[in-house]
Amino acid sequence: MNSIYKALFGSIFFWCVSASGYGQTTPQKHLPIIDVHVHAMKVTSQIGDLCPWFLSNMPGGDPNEKAPAFFSTECASPLKAAKSDQEFQDSLIETMNRLNMTIVASGDATIIRNWQKAAAPNRVIPSIGISNSEQMSVVAFTDSLSSGFYKVMGEVAPQYQGMSPSDMSLDAYFAAAEKLNIPVGIHMGTGGNGTINITNPKYRASMGNPLLLEDLLARHPKLKVWVMHAGYPMADEMIALMGANAYVYVDIAGMIWSYPLAEVNDYIKSLVQAGFGKRILYGTDLMIWPKLLETSIGVIENANYLSFDQKRDILFNNAVRFFRLDESKYR
Ligand SMILES: [Zn+2]
């Protein structure tokens, strides 16, 4: 077998498990994938097409000139933004079925319910986000969690308010999640793509330091937390926090398709090399670009520094463990 056929055969073998008996022609099923970071939102014309890894060359510029574009479309084939909610839903569900995917989705409850109706059972896991106490009272929040619809708390993003995740104004919400055994995703990382002081002046990069979670974790020893965006680019602080707290996981959403690809791979590799391959969750931060799913999965698929088992951990096994899922429902 020459090397091209070997590589081809290897990748087909890698990504498909036979669901058929001998001699039958049942289509092969993709190995399962869980995307822990999807945003359910109404399609808006304010978000356009997008080039993956678009932050590979940050502009210089001047505050007295026009602000740089949030997303770049200067590449051979930008990912197209969906034009309507229905178009997005149809392509999302088609991709989920084809790639045997499950998603954790936060945002618009009506859209989450529509996705649940269209998707296979248990494949859309609703998540409720709150980032400051003005959004919802603790009682209303606890009621929402107790209703049984929401299984996850996230995306919690106090960083965009210039606030630490350990700020006491959020403590009662985290206490409710801890009591009800609800896993929590907290945005710790970058934001703004070069325009944050114009688009969101309360945001502070310094509030994305993973070590700011320490007080929260000390106050809530049973709280299960994952750091959304993996605390990028503070790998040392992330490693220190994960080393000290065995139940802290990270997701690689957002960064996986926005920063230079070599940088993304170096960051993931540094966490794996530090011993945390079982605590990395696959996620995208998907908004309205259907093809972003495959683009992002490809980063892990093509990562030559990861073994087959490490890829399966990141794409599926770690999320099953973290969210306490019944694995047999997702095969
Ligand atoms: Zn985020």
- Cα(131) to ligand 1 centroid in Å equals 11
pLDDT < 70 stretches in the chain: 1-26
- Cα(56) to ligand 1 centroid in Å equals 19
- Rounded Cα distance, 52 and 259, in Å: 8
193, exposed or middle or buried, with CB in 10 Å at 0-12, 13-18, 19+?
middle
Determine the residue type at 255. Answer: M
pLDDT of residue 7: 40
Angle between helices 171-179 and 138-146 (to 10 degrees): 20
pLDDT of residue 277: 98
Q: What ranges make up the beta strands (E) of the chain?
A: 16-17, 29-30, 33-40, 101-107, 124-128, 152-156, 184-187, 225-228, 249-251, 280-281
Determine the residue type at 2. Answer: N
Residue pLDDT, tens place only, 95-108: 999 999 999 999 99
pLDDT of residue 192: 83
- Rounded Cα distance, 304 and 307, in Å: 8
- Cα(19) to ligand 1 centroid in Å equals 36
pLDDT of residue 131: 84
Angle between helices 292-301 and 261-271 (to 10 degrees): 50
- Rounded Cα distance, 88 and 229, in Å: 24
- Rounded Cα distance, 72 and 141, in Å: 37
Q: Which residues pair with 131 in a beta bridge?
A: none
pLDDT of residue 43: 94
- Cα(2) to ligand 1 centroid in Å equals 44
Determine the residue type at 251. Answer: D
CA 298, 277, 53 angle in degrees (round to 5)?
35
Residue pLDDT, tens place only, 200-250: 999 999 999 999 999 999 999 999 999 999 999 999 999 999 999 999 999
| Cis peptide leading into residue 165 (ω within 30°) | no
Provide the sign of the torsion angle of the four alpha carbons 107, 113, 117, 118, taken in this order: negative
Determine the residue type at 123. Answer: R
For ligand 1, a single-atom ion, the residues with CB < 5 A are 187, 228
In this structure, what DSSP letter does residue 186 have? Answer: E
pLDDT of residue 26: 64
Q: What is the pTM of this model?
A: 0.91
What is the domain partition of the chain in residue ranges?
1-30, 31-61+70-329
- Cα(157) to ligand 1 centroid in Å equals 7
- Cα(226) to ligand 1 centroid in Å equals 12
- The set of residues, in sequence order, having a beta carbon less than 8 Å from that of 305 and lying 6+ positions away, is 265, 269, 272
- Rounded Cα distance, 111 and 109, in Å: 5
- Cα(3) to ligand 1 centroid in Å equals 41
- Cα(232) to ligand 1 centroid in Å equals 11
- The set of residues, in sequence order, having a beta carbon less than 8 Å from that of 170 and lying 6+ positions away, is 130, 132, 133, 156, 158, 163
DSSP string, 13-54: HHHEE--S-TT--PPPEEPPEEEEEEEE----TTS--B-TTG
Phi, psi dihedrals of residue 308, rounded to the nearest 5°: -55, -45
- Cα(155) to ligand 1 centroid in Å equals 7
Q: Does domain 31-61+70-329 have CATH number 3.40.710.10?
A: no
pLDDT of residue 331: 86
Distance of CA 195 to the CA centre of its chain: 22
